[in-house]
Structures are given as structure tokens and as C-alpha cells.
Amino acid sequence: MTWTATVTTLGFILISMFVSLWLRLKLERDLIIGTIRATIQLISIGYVLHFIFTSNHWYWIGLVLLVMITVASQNAAARGKGIPWIFCRIFLTIFIVAGFTLLMMLFLHLIQAKPQVLIPISGMIVGNSMVVSSLVLNQMRQQAEQMREDILVALSLGATSRQASMRLTREAIRSGTIPIVDSLKTVGLVQLPGMMTGLIIAGTNPIEAVRYQLLIMFSFTASATLTSILMGLFVYPTLFNRAHQFIGWRGKTDK
């Protein structure tokens, strides 16, 4: 694609602008801000990636990974405001999951150890892990309220906090893995995944693109499961104190 072609794509924005003005949707301001932000963010990340690909040093890849995990953790931590050390708990989860998944892929020679492959793939894994973390946190908050009495009764029967919250944790882990398992069933029938589409447009043979897509989806399944389990394990202890007393969800309940 040439730069002139890129500028021409702004025409699509003009269509929305026109509709917005015509129907008085008052979207013009947001449209302009959104367009400018998307352009700047994507062009700068383009240059950053270009720089990293040409310099080809390991520490740059590490830095990019750390930034991605930090931003992702911050995003997911909004779901657990009020829980002590929630950022660290999520950061540790995503860090372990991304590290484990990438090492497995490298170890099994599924991907090449070069930044052009590592960075996009880890981006997808970190993003997936972030979404799953939010889901698990949401579910835990709901279950902590719903199962309050069950948990108290279990405690009164001599359960430890781990035993008393077993069903809650299990529900949370399930809810973190269900979406990816569902999407395994419909992918290719309902929607063509973005990565595969991109590879095909860029000229990759569709069979090759499908192989990459399968790799991503299967590793997403593993990393979603691992994320749910780690989040469950890292978060349930915050519902109790040291005397195995149930104190419930400490976060703000709004949102």
C-alpha cells in the first residue's frame, strides 16, 4: 500500500462525518479525536516495531513485553478496585502465562525466535490473558455475594478458606475458559479471525495462514485456562482473613 492510498482511506471517515452532521449525531468531535489518536498510535507503534526489528536486540523485545503486560494488568485491575495488591496479582498471572506459552512455542519449534514473530504473538496472548482476567474477576465478585451463605456454612462445618471457596473458585475458572472454548466451535463458520485474514491479504497461502491461526487459537485455549486458574488461586485468599473468616469482596461493587 502506498502513502497516498493510506491518506485516501480517510474517505471512510468522511462518510461517517457526513452522516453525523446530516443526522445531527454530534459524533464529529469524537470522530476527529479518534481518527487522530488511532493514526498517531498506530504510526508510532509501526516505527517502534520497525526500529526493534532492525536493531534485533533481545532486551528491546523484553521491554516491549513488559510494557504490554503492565498496560494489560492496569486495564484488568479496574475490575478489582479495592482488592489489595490486585495489580501485582494480575501482573504475575499474565507474566507467568505469557512466559510459559511463549517458551512452550519456542521449545516445540512452533514459531521462530525473531521479533517479527515474537512481538505480535505475545501481544495477542497478553491481550487474551487480560480479557480472561477481567472475566474471572467479574465472576468472583458476583459469586462472592451469591454464595456468601454457602461459604459461611462450609466454614462453620470446619472448612478451611480454600475448601469453603472451592465452588466459587471453580465457577470463576469455568467462566474464564468458556468463551474461548465456544469460539473454537464456531471459528471459520461465523467469522474469519483477524490475524488469518491479515496474513491472507499480505499474500500468505491460506493453508499456511490457517496453520498459524490454529496455533494461536489452541495456545489461547491453554493460556485462558492457565490464566483462570492462576487468577482464581491468587484472588480467592483476599476474600478471607487469617482466621479463616469470610470478609467478602472488598472492591467497590459499582461498575
Partner 1 sequence: MPKSQPLIELREVTKSYDSPEGRTTPLKEVSAVIPPESVIALMGPSGTGKSTLFRLLNRLEDPDHGSITYKGKPLSEWDPILLRREVHYVFQSAVLFPKTVADNLNYPLKLQGKSMSEEEMARLLERVGLSKSYLTRSIEKLSGGEKQRVHLARSLSLNPHVLLLDEPTASLDPESTERIEQEMRCYREKGHTVLWITHQPEQARRIADQVWHLESGHLRQEEMKR
Interface residue with partner 1 among 157, 190, 202, 207 (CB under 8 A) is 157
For the chain, the distance separating the N- and C-terminal CA atoms, rounded to the nearest angstrom, is 42
Euclidean distance between CA atoms 214 and 232, whole angstroms: 27
Q: How far is the CB of 165 from partner 1 (least distance, A)?
A: 13
Euclidean distance between CA atoms 11 and 186, whole angstroms: 33
Interface residue with partner 1 among 105, 119, 155, 180 (CB under 8 A) is 155
Interface residue with partner 1 among 111, 150, 215, 237 (CB under 8 A) is 150
Please identify, using beta-carbon distances, which residue of 174 and 244 lies nearer to partner 1: 244
Please identify, using beta-carbon distances, which residue of 236 and 246 lies nearer to partner 1: 246
Please identify, using beta-carbon distances, which residue of 93 and 143 lies nearer to partner 1: 143
Q: Is 153 in the site for partner 1 (CB under 8 A)?
A: yes
Residues 158-177 that bind partner 1 (CB under 8 A): 158-160, 163, 167
Q: How far is the CB of 171 from partner 1 (least distance, A)?
A: 12
Please identify, using beta-carbon distances, which residue of 106 and 159 lies nearer to partner 1: 159
Q: For the stretch 46-58, what's the b/e string if a residue is b when 16 or more beta carbons lie within 10 angstroms of its beta carbon?
A: eeeeeebeeeeee
Give the interface segment with partner 1, choosing from 14-22, 80-88, 155-163, 197-205 (CB under 8 A).
Answer: 155-163
Q: How far is the CB of 230 from partner 1 (least distance, A)?
A: 25
Interface residue with partner 1 among 4, 9, 54, 156 (CB under 8 A) is 156
Q: Is 54 in the site for partner 1 (CB under 8 A)?
A: no
Q: How far is the CB of 82 from partner 1 (least distance, A)?
A: 16
Residues 87, 92, 95, CA angle at the centre, nearest 5°?
Answer: 120
Euclidean distance between CA atoms 209 and 53, whole angstroms: 22
The alpha-helical segments, DSSP class H, found in 108-253 are: 115-146, 148-156, 161-164, 166-186, 194-201, 206-235
Euclidean distance between CA atoms 75 and 129, whole angstroms: 11
Interface residue with partner 1 among 11, 108, 149, 190 (CB under 8 A) is 149
Please identify, using beta-carbon distances, which residue of 155 and 224 lies nearer to partner 1: 155
Residue in 60, 16, 54 with CA at minimum distance from that of residue 38: 16
Euclidean distance between CA atoms 133 and 76, whole angstroms: 6
C-beta separation of 31 from 16 below 8 A = yes
In the complex, which residues of this chain contact partner 1 (CB under 8 A)?
149-150, 152-160, 163, 167, 243-246
